[in-house]
Structure 1
Amino acid sequence: MKLLYIIGIQAYTLLIRIFSLFNPKAKLFIKGRKNIFTSIAQKVDPAEKHIWFHFASLGEFEQGRPVLEKLKALYPSKKIVVTFFSPSGYEIRKNYAFADVFYLPMDTAANAKRFITGINPEMAIFTKYEFWHFYFKELKNRGIPLYVISGIFRENQAFFKWYGGFYRNILKSVTYFFVQNKESEDLLKSIGLHHVSISGDTRFDRVYENAQSPKQLSIVESFIGSAPTIVCGSTWPEDEKILSALPQQYPNWKFIIAPHEIHESHIESIEKQFSVGSIRFSVFGAEPKALNAQYQTLIIDNIGMLSALYQYGKLAYIGGGFGTGIHNTLEAAAFGLPVIFGPKYDKFQEAKDLIAIGAAKSISSTGELIDTFNAFANHQQAADAARKYVDNKKGATDQIISVIMKSNRP
């Protein structure tokens, strides 16, 4: 199985190199790792101890961010190294003020040894998932504590199958698991891993903090005026096709579309579907205020604003539910927005919870979207339930920090 893992890593790297010839994300993936060890050597002093945080992508960064920033607040002189696997995380957070930020070199024995030597970590903290054999083994061999925070496990994962011995051994390198639910705790204990506790999801702390002091966006405020607004976050073409029926149905509402991908062809596709009264964010700011009323749909053609946009909404639609799975529902719920999303949400406990308390609904068609829109448009009880759900779930960060501090004094 180890040989297959090594072959898989090599095959993945080769495929990414091929895709990089015509795919912008793949190109960034390869370019960002070019001369990576030279870059690390220039920025990181291996004579100093560091705290290493790894994130798969931007969503995991926001999830683990409260723990990172709490540790930094407690130990301001400590050096922190952040790594990302995905360009969508690195490219947005590469200038993050509290850490030196890099792409994670591919998981090989040589890379793991060289990388860990280069950053000299006193502990490593991985958020939610990404379990790398050689990195984990190298940390264990050197006696460096490794924590997984906001972990979540499912019975159908290879760790819990008869053929999953190799993958179970990867998990054995983890010093301690902080998991989101009892199912994850029980699954880990079923394979002999008892260094685990249910801490919940650190995303609740992050979205709660964001909702308490969101960044004000004057251009968005000018756009919506006093009109009720639905914020459609992380949308994909399948979502936009259904959403495009709403503006004509609800002429008194404003619509904010923040797509997951902002490349030109996608923005142009949204403009065609929302052809009446739509305008790009980058253009709207230069428009005379007297013309503001003629625009009903604002298309966000940049990355990084979404978490602040929800403060202006009365409802939220979260994209991804017609593809591989929905995106972050909690950012909207923290502001007290009832949430609507597509049918693929089964892997997301918070989505199930929000539906159970009447703060969210899943839809599969335009007709269901309109019915749900009508049901939620003036539903204060749903709004209150969403906000209360987030408020009651916060606190994972303090629990994680408490355990880490008992075992390590950074």
Structure 2
Amino acid sequence: MSMLVFWFYKTVIVPFAWIILQIARPFISGKLREMIEDKNNAFYKMVHPGTEKLITLHRPLWIHAASGEIEYARPVIREFKKKHPDIPVIVTYSSPSAKKILESMHDIDMWAALPWDFDFLISAFIEKWNPRALLFSRTDVWPVLARTAKKKRLTTGLFSATFADNSSRLKGISKFLTKYAMNQLDEIHCVSEEDRRNLYLLGIKTRIEVSGDTRFDQVFHRLENPKELKNELMPSTDEFVFIAGSTWPEDEEVLVPALAKIKRENLKIIIAPHETGPDHLEKLEKQFAEAGLPYVLYSKSTQWPVGSILLVDKVGILAELYTWADMAFIGGSFKKQVHSVMEALAAGLPVMVGPHHQNNREALFYQKKNFSSGMIVQVVHSPEDVSVLIDRMRKKSFAFPHIKEEIRSEIGKNKNSTQRVLSSFF
């Protein structure tokens, strides 16, 4: 059945989708049109212009990451380059959203749009760049790509793979394509035993290892190599700091009334919105004023009074700000889906999330872990839930000063996935 589905995908679905996208392209805008044009033009960018022949000569490592999956690939690339500085690394992406991340990465040699999933285009890409291996980050294993790489005798593997029980890739017609694509690979490195079990139940014959989630290594690397913060705003050790990270308006509608209810003696609050445009910041400032909440802007302040909100109008420093805090709320969880809880947990913080957190493995898993602080991750549904939990944690943080160390130790068990993956291939 898997072979039949693959044949139908290769000969009908892919060509039909390609034709539809080409016809629709003039009427499409945004990222979708950019994706179509990048693939049509075989777009690529050299980090060091003029080194195409050198890359081909040294046979690069090829990593494919759809978009945000590049965060899982970062530590793999970094550690690979430490061990093999003379071997180039090329990265392909599916979504143009990845370009901004790739532009900031200086340990890769070339990045490019993944070709359309036609075997002749994949073959041409492989022949041009002459890679020694192809590693997929997280999820984005295209069936024709995997089959063509196998025919070309490329070493192939998938890392930080996750296949939860409710995954769409394990249901309907998709499960046959998943089975076919996974069976083309040499190795699969899963996040958990649950993932391995689900793949075995699907009938995967490829070697499967449980190696963990490489993104934890990236999070800890970030904490060990922090960006500089404004030291004059750093809270003192006797102040309890609550941080709300990557918040959206739906989150703020719950947080603001909650914060207005609680006593703010020896309390400082950080709100770091996901979007820091002027419209959003002005709306937030108005909400604070109406609720009687004093605040200061991160970029303009040299002092942060007790009982007030530090409104963060600068992007890229949230991981560092978590290290200032004692408890966190993770945004997106009152909107549609929660942002990553990893950075807050790695900083040792008990975390609260709203009802929309089923997309996040760590948010679900760590609800089951109980320490002196209670559960590491707790779910809130209302302003009252938020205010009660903040007050409860303020009391516990003084009674159990080792809470952060407990959580850091627990999260630290997830380190070194990157080494396990790389040692298996190189």
Residue 373 in structure 1 maps to residue 373 in structure 2:
no
1:175-211 deviation line (CA, Å, top 9, x unaligned): 2100011121112122132410111112222223333
Kept after mapping to 1: 8 A contact 2:122/2:145: yes
Partner SS, residue 209 of structure 2: strand
1:54-107 deviation line (CA, Å, top 9, x unaligned): 22334x323232222111111111111123333443213313110035352353
From 343, 356, 359, the equivalent of 2:368 is: 356
- Name the count of aligned residue pairs: 394
Q: Name the structure 2 match of 1:209.
A: 221
Letter in 1 for 2:281: I
Cα drift, residue 11 of structure 1: 5.1
| Equivalent-residue separation in structure 2 for 1:322 and 1:11 (angstroms) | 36
Cα 1:233–1:38 change in 2 (3 A) is closer
Q: Pairwise mapping of residues 44-59 of structure 1 onto structure 2 (< 5 A)?
A: 44-45=52-53, 46-58=56-68
1:202-258 deviation line (CA, Å, top 9, x unaligned): 22222233333423312xx33344243222222222112212224433434333233
Cα 1:342–1:7 change in 2 (3 A) is farther
1:15-72 deviation line (CA, Å, top 9, x unaligned): 787553xx5x5576567668553645955333331111222334x3232322221111
Cα 1:309–1:176 change in 2 (3 A) is same
Cα 1:166–1:87 change in 2 (3 A) is closer
Q: Quick one: percent identity of the two aligned structures?
A: 25
Q: Name the structure 1 match of 2:416.
A: 395
Letter in 1 for 2:64: H
From 71, 74, 81, the equivalent of 1:62 is: 71
Q: Name the structure 2 match of 1:185.
A: 196
| Equivalent-residue separation in structure 2 for 1:294 and 1:383 (angstroms) | 22
Q: Pairwise mapping of residues 130-141 of structure 1 onto structure 2 (< 5 A)?
A: 130-141=140-151
Kept after mapping to 2: 8 A contact 1:107/1:135: no
Residue 268 in structure 1 maps to residue 277 in structure 2:
no
Partner SS, residue 244 of structure 1: helix
Q: Pairwise mapping of residues 62-211 of structure 1 onto structure 2 (< 5 A)?
A: 62-105=71-114, 107-109=116-118, 110-161=120-171, 163=173, 164-190=175-201, 191-211=203-223
Partner SS, residue 121 of structure 1: coil
| Equivalent-residue separation in structure 2 for 1:297 and 1:83 (angstroms) | 41
Q: Pairwise mapping of residues 194-343 of structure 1 onto structure 2 (< 5 A)?
A: 194-218=206-230, 221-226=231-236, 227-248=239-260, 249-252=262-265, 253-275=267-289, 276-281=293-298, 283-284=299-300, 287=301, 289=302, 292-293=304-305, 296-343=308-355
TM-score normalized by the length of structure 2: 0.81
Kept after mapping to 1: 8 A contact 2:248/2:332: yes
Cα 1:269–1:124 change in 2 (3 A) is farther
Larger radius of gyration: 2
TM-score normalized by the length of structure 1: 0.84
Letter in 2 for 1:168: K
| Equivalent-residue separation in structure 1 for 2:263 and 2:135 (angstroms) | 47
Cα 1:6–1:344 change in 2 (3 A) is farther
Structure 2: any 5+ residue segments left out of the alignment? Answer: 1-7, 370-374
Letter in 1 for 2:59: K
Kept after mapping to 1: 8 A contact 2:44/2:110: no
Kept after mapping to 1: 8 A contact 2:117/2:142: no
Structure 1: any 5+ residue segments left out of the alignment? Answer: 406-410
| Equivalent-residue separation in structure 2 for 1:168 and 1:13 (angstroms) | 29
Cα 1:123–1:316 change in 2 (3 A) is same
Q: CA RMSD in A?
A: 3.0
Cα 1:158–1:27 change in 2 (3 A) is closer
Kept after mapping to 1: 8 A contact 2:158/2:189: yes
Kept after mapping to 1: 8 A contact 2:273/2:312: yes
| Equivalent-residue separation in structure 2 for 1:304 and 1:157 (angstroms) | 31
| Equivalent-residue separation in structure 2 for 1:400 and 1:236 (angstroms) | 35
Residues 229-238 or 80-89, more deviating: 80-89
Kept after mapping to 2: 8 A contact 1:214/1:311: no
| Equivalent-residue separation in structure 2 for 1:172 and 1:121 (angstroms) | 20
Partner SS, residue 393 of structure 1: coil
Cα 1:80–1:38 change in 2 (3 A) is closer
| Equivalent-residue separation in structure 1 for 2:27 and 2:288 (angstroms) | 35
Q: Name the structure 2 match of 1:408.
A: none
| Equivalent-residue separation in structure 1 for 2:168 and 2:366 (angstroms) | 29
Cα drift, residue 374 of structure 1: 1.8
